[in-house]
Structure formats: C-alpha cells, structure tokens
C-alpha cells in the first residue's frame, strides 16, 4: 500500500500496530500519548484523510461540524462509541468505525476477576500482606462469600455479558439477565442457562451479584442509583466493566459504607482517571485502572481492526466494522 494517505493517531498505540500504520500510511503517531483538546485535534486534523481515536477523544456535533473536509473516516480503538456523535459524523459524510468482537474474552476475564476479588475481599487481604499486618491463619478472619449457587444478574447480554455469564456458570452461579431483547435459546444455554427478565428492576431483586455490561446511553446514565440499589438483596456485590457513567457514584459509595452492599469491583469510572475520591477510602472495593481489554493480544487486535477499517475506506472499500 502506498503512503499517499495521511492518518492522525491521537493516542499511543501498541508497537506492532503503530509500525503497521507507519508502514502503510503517512501517519502522525502520538508517541508521547499527550491528550488532544478539541481545538488541538481540529488543528491537527487539517489535511488528514483519517483519524484513529480513543474513548478519551470527545467528538461532539460541534467538533464534527468543524472537522476538515479531507477527513473520510474516524476509527475509534474501542467498542464503545458514546464519545462520538455518529449522527453528526454521518451528516458530514464521515464514516465511523469501532472494534467489536476482539476484546470480548479479555474483558470478560476481568469481569470474572472482579467478581472473585470482590467476593473474597482481595483488596483487604493483599493490603494485610503488603503492609505486614497479617497475623496468621484464623478461622473467622477476613471471610468472604462463595460464588457457588449465588444468583448473578447480568445487565446487558451482548458478547461480553454472555462470555462473563458463561464463565460464571462454570463457578456454579445461577445466571439471570436483562437485555433489550431476549436471547435465542441457544445463546441462553451458552450463557449458563440464563433466565430472562424483561424488567431490569425486577431482576435486581434477585441479584446476589450484579455485573454491568450496558453501553452508556441517555437511558442508562446513572442506571444504578440509590433507588435501584435499595431493590437489591442486602449484602449484594456489584461489578462494572462497561462504562463508569452507568453507576451513580454517590449512591454506590453510600451503599458500600452502610453495608447495604457487601462489596464492589470496578474497572471503569465516571470522569476517569479523575475518579470519585471517596472510592479510595473504602476497603470493600476492588479497583482496576480500566484494563478490561489490557492484554497484548487484545490491544493488538483492536489496533489492527482499526487499521483494517482505515485501509478499507481509504482504498474505496466498505468499512469492516462500520457504525453508520
């Protein structure tokens, strides 16, 4: 492929992915990983044929209205695309793509890690050992709860939700789920014989554990609020690997402090990396820094998927994973 096309890449990419873009295109690589402001992004986009962005780049309708006419495709290296106004992009003739499928297994592995870590008080246990405060074995010390025979509610049964349910069923959990549409019998069977709830609020009343896999939309913003937490059984555990904005931080923190919720496991946060400061003061929460897709294999696959989309569109072919 000739290097006739100009591609702006807004975040640092894995080495192999960056090398491919550098080989195939006249690419601007952000090796310092500095985040672009909207103004800087628009300035840098002048003369570009393609933008490769991430969820940290906010491509609102206002930004897209000012986007240089040369830009033909915006490829986000993520599954979620709430940071891009796809309708506005379509209006201005810009194709938008994402990277579905390739991060399902890695993210569901992290979901399972969060379930186990929250249930077994991993944060507290590790701190005891690291801080040299462990006093030795005791029968009643730092006790967690089993996953076996517990009811797991899955909010959002897309690819990642189904993969998480499949894993959890192997631990003996009883799977319940809410989704916009009911799964086929075959997919329900794959997801551990999952039981469908048309009403998410009704499902919450059955959840010893809740794993959130919902995209962030106006309808799901702060879905898990104080009222819905109150519906859950006392001592339930909440895990989130989707988007931080689906959870009302103040409500979750209050429930963890009061004991209404036993524990939580979070990989995503509203406003990340500037998370709610009270999370850091809680011992009954296991936190990770948005690493759901953070394996070498998965991040490479995400980057290569974005590259495939850019290559296709810039050579006059249909995008591989278009959003519009």
SS3 158: coil
CA proximity to 307, closest of 63, 21, 2: 21
Whether 243 sits among the annotated catalytic residues: the reply is yes
Q: What residues contact 318, with CB distance under 8 A and at least 6 apart?
A: 312
Q: What residues contact 6, with CB distance under 8 A and at least 6 apart?
A: 25, 26, 27, 28, 47, 48, 49, 50, 70
Handedness of CA 230, 283, 293, 74 (dihedral sign): positive
> What are the phi and psi torsion angles at 176 (to 5°)?
-115, 155
> What are the phi and psi torsion angles at 2 (to 5°)?
-75, 155
Whether residue 244 contacts residue 269, with contact meaning beta carbons closer than 8 Å, is answered with yes
Handedness of CA 34, 38, 43, 48 (dihedral sign): positive
Whether 219 sits among the annotated catalytic residues: the reply is no
Report the 10 Å Cβ neighbour count for 169: 18
What's the length of the chain? Answer: 324
Q: What single DSSP character describes residue 120?
A: T
Whether 272 sits among the annotated catalytic residues: the reply is yes
CA angle 236, 118, 180 (to 5 degrees): 60
CA angle 116, 170, 244 (to 5 degrees): 45
Marked catalytic residue, from 82, 124, 270, 272:
272
Marked catalytic residue, from 120, 123, 166, 243:
243
- Residues serving a catalytic function are 243, 272, 290
């Amino acid at each position: 492929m000739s290097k006739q096309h100009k591609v702006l890449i807004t975040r640092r990419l894995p080495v192999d992915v960056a090398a491919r873009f550098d080989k195939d295109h006249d690419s601007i690589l952000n090796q310092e990983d500095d985040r672009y402001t909207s103004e800087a992004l628009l300035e840098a986009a002048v003369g570009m044929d393609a933008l490769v962005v991430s969820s940290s780049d906010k491509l609102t309708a206002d930004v897209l209205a000012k986007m240089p006419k040369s830009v033909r495709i915006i490829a986000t290296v993520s599954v979620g695309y709430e940071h891009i106004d796809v309708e506005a992009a379509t209006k201005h003739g810009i194709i938008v793509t994402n990277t579905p499928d390739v991060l399902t297994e890695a993210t569901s592995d992290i979901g399972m890690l969060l379930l186990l870590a929250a249930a077994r008080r991993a944060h507290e246990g590790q701190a005891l050992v690291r801080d040299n405060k462990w006093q030795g074995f005791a029968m009643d010390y730092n006790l967690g709860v089993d996953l076996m025979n517990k009811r797991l509610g899955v909010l959002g049964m897309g690819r990642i939700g189904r993969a998480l349910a499949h894993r959890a069923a192997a631990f003996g959990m009883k799977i319940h789920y809410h989704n916009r549409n009911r799964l086929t019998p075959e997919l329900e069977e794959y997801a551990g014989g999952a039981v469908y709830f048309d009403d998410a609020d009704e499902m919450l009343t059955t959840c010893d554990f809740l794993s959130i896999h919902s995209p962030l939309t106006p309808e799901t913003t702060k879905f898990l609020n104080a009222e819905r937490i109150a519906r859950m059984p006392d001592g339930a555990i909440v895990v989130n690997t989707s988007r931080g904005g689906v959870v009302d931080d103040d409500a979750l923190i209050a429930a963890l402090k009061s004991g209404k919720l036993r524990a939580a496991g979070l990989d995503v946060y509203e406003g990340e990396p500037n998370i709610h400061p009270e999370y850091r003061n809680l011992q009954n929460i296991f936190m990770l820094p948005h690493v759901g897709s953070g394996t070498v294999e998965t991040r490479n696959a995400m980057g290569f998927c974005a590259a495939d989309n850019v290559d296709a569109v810039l050579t006059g072919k249909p995008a591989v994973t278009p959003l519009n």
